[in-house]
Structure 1
């Protein structure tokens, strides 16, 4: 278990300014550390927590590797263009070096005008030689870097394939661990019939959330909004609070763009009031982190947990849908951009009492 924790600590280390090759190499090492963490998670005392961190580690590693490979591709193209542009200069430089190398040494030391000319030519050669040496070293560095980047790209396909496979294994292991979990406090037992009647009798998410909160009487802690809670999923806000979508529909929440199969977790300790399909929101999770406060999270493909459970902060709630792109698609520069990969969306709404409030009161939306 110590080895797994050490691997996760490595993954959490900030990345300093790096060359594209260094960034790609470190991302590959992060994926290997995630594999080590996955192997160690089986012996952890809290498998769900360990596997949750492992899934996130794989997500971080894959994002970093994609970014590193994009930078490698850009740098590789830049070097190739620079070398092509300097082709004439390189040919001239090679010709000068060849002529100097082929000339007999005594002739290089003599000048037709006599000793003074020989001295002057020696001074010129002394000035020119360091510049030629710098040019040679610069070209050698560029060609060496280009060869290194090409080698990195050749090995990237297998690294990506292993990372994607490891991420799938971690998600499957997490799903199984959540199903087998029995250590969570249970605040109440869901009345399945009553919940089904509520679903059948309500036409909007707001009505359902309000009615559901009225049927559940649990003692929730006090919690003051600070605007610093993490988003339930790693992503970026695509549509702000009370903003119309392409169809002109205004929803009192925010839409978050994220990658396929991304893990969704609890932002803070909360009671799970509901999980399941609801209207046109897909699978919905409703959390009560504090008295009269509801977090409504919609758009999941898979959901975990049971209604009535008290979930700790960072507990897994489910996964987004979609399919991870194939390795070839990721390696293609035009298809590997961050924006293009964030093809899934998650809906987040915060309700305070009878109405919705801007989620930025509770969450760090930026």
Structure 2
């Protein structure tokens, strides 16, 4: 596992930098260090599921910060390199002037053809130019050192990022096992697989399926008095991602849906945004794997597009309980590091659809969740 010593190996490069890239790298190093510590502690945690969930979220935050730091470093390095290339002629002229000033020791060389007055004027002019020339030389030297530092930062941080990717994958595997072994969740009802299959086969819309959910359960217990009073509008998004399409916006095919679509990274963890009962879990229509939560009476949260799902219908879960993982192939070594991928969010190749239904009528999820932040 990645230890503190490995993370701190990044700091000799970072400490030299006074740039946004260095700030991002420092934040990333701290986040990955904390994630690695959490992963060590999760092995012996009493609530291993909770510990692993926090670990994966910490890794996702740290890896995101590291990617951003690398992107900023690449951009800064490219800008400095272009600036130095554009100033090649200036550098050559500057070097020539400094060499001519410092390489001649004979006082005769400083005599002006116009005599003492010309020599005096030339001396005054030289005295004025020297600080400016030295300042230009110092600025160019600083730019060159920054380029060298940023290149070293990218190489070293890329290795740390790859180590982090390996560790977060190990945490996801451990979470899969922990969820498979979990038996301590209370249940409100038992799902009827035959009725569920019939309902799926007989409905063509999410609305039709949602309206029939109450008919496919047996031995239902009266729900706990859970309400979202005061939480509406302040619920966390269930996954770290960017809002790709808002409610009512048409996609490339002109299709409009009442929910929002989040762009996420491959393998991102999806958690319950509020304490809920799992009303349905599994494949549904053309949505892929779907989780339908009931946080309060007549309110459904529909999360669609997961690859791996945890739990079973009827279970009562707490806020933050893992619901599953997004799909997508994990990036090959180096793929996650391209600044071209990160800038436009093109590394977020997976999509999670979120729909809210109140009394079986859709409501804009932006009214329920904090959608103005990149999780």
Show the 5 A alignment for 1:253-264. Answer: 253-264=259-270
Spell out structure 1 runs of 4+ moving beyond 6 A: none
1:271 counterpart SS class: strand
Distance in 2 (CA, whole Å) between partners of 1:49 and 1:296 is 22
- Alpha-carbon shift at residue 365 of structure 1 (Å): 2.7
Partner of 2:46: 45
Per the alignment, do residues 126 and 250 of structure 1 end up closer, same or farther by CA in structure 2, a change over 3 Å counting? closer
Distance in 1 (CA, whole Å) between partners of 2:118 and 2:241 is 71
Match of 2:228 among 214, 218, 223: 223
Partner of 1:187: 188
Distance in 2 (CA, whole Å) between partners of 1:242 and 1:106 is 82
Partner of 2:213: 212
Q: Which runs of 5+ in 1 are unaligned?
A: 8-16
2:145 counterpart SS class: helix
Aligned residues: 353
Partner of 1:360: 366
Per the alignment, do residues 81 and 354 of structure 1 end up closer, same or farther by CA in structure 2, a change over 3 Å counting? closer
Q: Which moved more, 1:57-66 or 1:222-231?
A: 222-231
- Alpha-carbon shift at residue 90 of structure 1 (Å): 1.0
Asked if the contact 1:157/1:327 (under 8 Å) is kept, the reply is: no
Per the alignment, do residues 76 and 115 of structure 1 end up closer, same or farther by CA in structure 2, a change over 3 Å counting? same
Mapped pair 1:161 → 2:165: no
Match of 1:315 among 315, 318, 321: 321
Partner of 1:10: none
Mapped pair 1:300 → 2:301: no
Distance in 2 (CA, whole Å) between partners of 1:180 and 1:322 is 25
Show the 5 A alignment for 1:258-273. Answer: 258-273=264-279
Asked if the contact 2:247/2:257 (under 8 Å) is kept, the reply is: yes
Asked if the contact 2:188/2:221 (under 8 Å) is kept, the reply is: no
Distance in 2 (CA, whole Å) between partners of 1:161 and 1:346 is 25
Asked if the contact 2:210/2:360 (under 8 Å) is kept, the reply is: no
Q: Which moved more, 1:223-232 or 1:88-97?
A: 223-232
1:301-342 deviation line (CA, Å, top 9, x unaligned): 000112222211111100111112223323333344342112
1:44-95 deviation line (CA, Å, top 9, x unaligned): 2322122111111111222222222222222111111111111111111111
Partner of 1:139: 140
Q: Which moved more, 1:189-198 or 1:137-146?
A: 189-198
Q: Which runs of 5+ in 2 are unaligned?
A: 8-17
Partner of 2:13: none
1:114-150 deviation line (CA, Å, top 9, x unaligned): 6655544443333222112211110110010010011
Task: Give RMSD over aligned pairs.
Answer: 2.6
Distance in 1 (CA, whole Å) between partners of 2:254 and 2:134 is 65
- Alpha-carbon shift at residue 184 of structure 1 (Å): 2.7
Distance in 2 (CA, whole Å) between partners of 1:209 and 1:118 is 94
Distance in 2 (CA, whole Å) between partners of 1:195 and 1:352 is 21
Distance in 1 (CA, whole Å) between partners of 2:209 and 2:157 is 48
Asked if the contact 1:300/1:320 (under 8 Å) is kept, the reply is: yes
1:175 counterpart SS class: helix
* TM-score normalised by the chain length of structure 2: 0.85
- Alpha-carbon shift at residue 110 of structure 1 (Å): 5.6
Partner of 2:290: 284
Asked if the contact 1:301/1:318 (under 8 Å) is kept, the reply is: yes
